[in-house]
Structure 1
Amino acid sequence: MSATAGAVWGRTEQQDFRSRVRGTLLGVAVGDALGAPVNGLDLGGIRAAYGGEGLLDLAPAYGRRGAVTHLTQLTLFSTDGLIRAQVRRDTGAWHPPTDLHRAYRRWAATQRDWGPDERREEDGWLAREEWLYARRGPTRALLLGLGDDTMGTPGAPKNPAEPGPEAAARSAPFGLLVGWDPHLVAQLAVECAAQTHGHPVACLAAGAYAVIVHALARGDDLDGAVRRALALLASRPGHEPVSEALRHALGAVRQGAPTPERVARLTGEGTAEALVATAVYCALVGEDVRHGLCLAVNQDGPSAVAGALTGGLLGALHGETALPPAWVVELEGRPTILELADDFAMEMTQGPALHGPSGASPGWLARYPRG
């Protein structure tokens, strides 16, 4: 399977890919929405609010059921930035981290502006979605990292001491670049993580998560996907904390029935590598998608992050139809998520027909401007 220019996709391949893209983006959002009401609560607080088994269904957050946080918002802008990078490639300007940074800056505008500026056609359609203009718990690292035009890089990262998991939680779309070599997928995720979360371990955790999604989107099982990520990490300086966390997650699978306490031990202090490992564990041991997501959010750590990371893995693994339909239907912004997912799948499978040498679609270029 290849998403490179000129590649030929069969109809079955296209349908499978679109289902996994939809599953990944919806999975991130479903997990995020499930965890949002209990974000910041410890397990005792969750049980006090929702009963002895914890949170088992969507609950109100930000005034409604199915509300998403900044994690879903940023995942959507990651997807938008990747499409824009592909479109801009025709101009000879090929530097995806720059396009991602521009996309994240468009997200930053949603956090300070009252609504979209209809005059700025170069922003594209996603930045004109009014429901995205809402502050949903963005961290200080995100607002500082994207607070000016200077782009963080691995050599000069923004917030170099920030170990948090938010960069990893927006990295699932990088894994959907199925025609890319896994090393390039990891590198792109690392470079984009450095724009807000510059701690080397946080950057490598984002790269590892993207590689796991990449293997799942190409049809691997989850255990195999994690082992691929471990093999790739081995050549990266400073990989040990991430590799150790992933191995700990794989080992925990063999230690008996999953419990919130076991999840809490993986989550630890809520660092990026710990949350990626938590997501791997919950996705591996969950009896189904619903069970895996409930395991992820019912613990002492950041529930929305754990849910979003777990949902991205399960969506990439199983596709959209495995997600709980009663949760999907209540998702905030569901029409936008589906539209963007389908646009991403179309760009990656049929991009040359939309803006290639033989012609360009004015409608597509209006949605995803080259500027």
Structure 2
Amino acid sequence: MSSNHGIPAPTLPSRIRGSLLGGALGDALGYAVVSDSIADIRERFGAQGLAGFEDLQGPCHFSDDTQLTLYTVDGLVEALEWANSGVGADVNACLWLAYLRWLATQGEDAGPSAPAPQPRWIDGNEVLRQRRHPDKVCISGLASGEMGTAMRPVNPEARGAGTVMRSAPFGLVPHITPDAVYKLSADAAALTHGHPAARQSAGIFSLLIHRLVSGEELRDAADGVTAHAATLVDVAPELPQRLEAALRLAEKADVGPEELLQVLGGGWTAEEALAVALYAVLATLPAEAADAQPAVHFRRALAVAVNHSGGSDTAGSLAGNILGALYGEACLPAEWLEALEAPEVIRGMADQLVKVTTGEG
């Protein structure tokens, strides 16, 4: 069986592992330059910027983007474990409890009104207890001790990228409808961020991952979710505007980091981060499917995603999630995986998701 982008179609387990590992690789690459302007990046790495892990010295740490993505996996796994045993569970409550456990790893307290979640395997991994500039809005929303909902979100004006950065796993769960994928993701975003653009961006990103995992071609999936974003009830207009701008920009030649920043923004808000990542993966997509070399596409897209004056870690993370879902593990550069921090923890969480969704493992 061949995929429609010129390589053998990856299995679902490969897409799950590829998306989670790819996101961590992009996160770690971007985290190395997250506080740097493009001028700073060029001064450190030359005119072409940061090309890959081979340009870095020392450990390649990932950020809270990967930490929270893995805790999203854990919340979904717990809900699916209950479902597989015949017991219905409130998925958003499982996610909230998972995020509260992440909050505790960051040395923060949700207060006496919040429940005390039971520890799970993920909590025993020291790498996830490191404080890597955690998203302030995620911290404040969870530290409120209140479970936000779509009707009553905490931080109602918050629109930062802390929602999209953790939302790939919703698209990795097979056998659920696109509407369910969107709702699960947007509802989980409301646990910390209340602005419609933040919640809708998370949902649309999860739908993009879902379409790719279902075997859709990248351009078709990007066009599809961009069109869908414009039809959302009470849509935040910033979201379809940014996505449409990303599609247009990806058709241009010789777009530099300065133009990227001017047209799409710095990736600090949810819709900007998604737009930058979408642009990065589309602008580097080979013109002919037969020319697709997954690892080459991955390297080129990640370089675009992180070499700018904005939120390099989140843009890199999202781009890695997207390409891992598209190609599976085939796109992950082996030498980058060798340099990545704690890949066994990421694989461990991926394998848990594979097991509860497919029975494999």
TM-score of the alignment, normalized to the shorter chain, above 0.5: yes
> Which residue of structure 1 lines up, in the alignment, with residue 52 of structure 2?
57
Structure 2 Cα separation of the partners of residues 170 and 326 of structure 1: 25
Q: For residues 315-371 of structure 1, give each alpha carbon's deviation from its aligned partner in whole angstroms, at most 9, with x where no partner exists.
A: 1011112111111111111001112112211110128xx9xxxxxxxxxxxxxxxxx
> Which residue of structure 1 lines up, in the alignment, with residue 60 of structure 2?
66
2:269 pairs, out of 271, 277, 302, with 271
Tell me if 1:257 matches 2:254: yes
Tell me if 1:229 matches 2:225: yes
Tell me if 1:17 matches 2:12: yes
5+ residue gaps, structure 1, are: 1-11, 114-119, 355-371
> Which residue of structure 2 lines up, in the alignment, with residue 350 of structure 1?
359
Tell me if 1:315 matches 2:324: yes
1:77 pairs, out of 49, 71, 86, with 71
Structure 2 residue matching 1:144: 3-state secondary structure: helix
> Which residue of structure 2 lines up, in the alignment, with residue 30 of structure 1?
25
Structure 1 Cα separation of the partners of residues 53 and 59 of structure 2: 6
Question: Residues 116-265 of structure 1 correspond to what in structure 2 (within 5 A)?
Answer: 122-233=118-229, 234-265=231-262
> Which residue of structure 1 lines up, in the alignment, with residue 40 of structure 2?
45
Structure 2 residue matching 1:236: 3-state secondary structure: coil
Structure 1 Cα separation of the partners of residues 159 and 205 of structure 2: 15
Moved more, 204-213 or 125-134: 125-134
For the 8 Å contact 1:145–1:158, the answer to whether it is kept is yes
Letter in structure 1 aligned against 2:155: N
Superposition TM-score, scaled by structure 1 size: 0.85
Letter in structure 1 aligned against 2:251: R
For the 8 Å contact 2:101–2:117, the answer to whether it is kept is no
For the 8 Å contact 2:251–2:283, the answer to whether it is kept is no
Structure 2 Cα separation of the partners of residues 302 and 97 of structure 1: 27
How far did residue 91 of structure 1 move?
Answer: 5.2
How far did residue 202 of structure 1 move?
Answer: 0.7
Aligned length: 333
Q: For residues 199-242 of structure 1, give each alpha carbon's deviation from its aligned partner in whole angstroms, at most 9, with x where no partner exists.
A: 11111000110000000011111111122223433132124221
How far did residue 122 of structure 1 move?
Answer: 3.3
For the 8 Å contact 2:15–2:326, the answer to whether it is kept is yes
Letter in structure 2 aligned against 1:211: L
Letter in structure 2 aligned against 1:79: V
How far did residue 256 of structure 1 move?
Answer: 1.5
> Which residue of structure 1 lines up, in the alignment, with residue 282 of structure 2?
284
For the 8 Å contact 1:205–1:276, the answer to whether it is kept is yes
Letter in structure 2 aligned against 1:49: R
Q: For residues 289-318 of structure 1, give each alpha carbon's deviation from its aligned partner in whole angstroms, at most 9, with x where no partner exists.
A: 101001000001110011001110011011
Structure 1 Cα separation of the partners of residues 210 and 168 of structure 2: 8
Residues 204 and 53 (structure 1 numbering): CA distance in 2 closer, same or farther, change over 3 Å? same
For the 8 Å contact 1:263–1:296, the answer to whether it is kept is no
Structure 2 Cα separation of the partners of residues 247 and 222 of structure 1: 15
Q: For residues 133-169 of structure 1, give each alpha carbon's deviation from its aligned partner in whole angstroms, at most 9, with x where no partner exists.
A: 1100102101111114311111111111111112101
Moved more, 176-185 or 22-31: 176-185
Moved more, 178-187 or 228-237: 228-237
Structure 2 Cα separation of the partners of residues 177 and 340 of structure 1: 13
Letter in structure 1 aligned against 2:125: E
1:327 pairs, out of 319, 336, 347, with 336
How far did residue 259 of structure 1 move?
Answer: 2.6
Structure 2 Cα separation of the partners of residues 20 and 266 of structure 1: 31
For the 8 Å contact 1:282–1:293, the answer to whether it is kept is yes
Structure 1 residue matching 2:254: 3-state secondary structure: coil
Question: Residues 286-305 of structure 1 correspond to what in structure 2 (within 5 A)?
Answer: 286=284, 288-305=297-314
> Which residue of structure 1 lines up, in the alignment, with residue 113 of structure 2?
none
Question: Residues 97-116 of structure 1 correspond to what in structure 2 (within 5 A)?
Answer: 97-112=92-107
Structure 1 Cα separation of the partners of residues 188 and 215 of structure 2: 25
Aligned identity (percent) is 35
Give RMSD over aligned pairs. Answer: 2.2
Structure 2 Cα separation of the partners of residues 95 and 121 of structure 1: 14
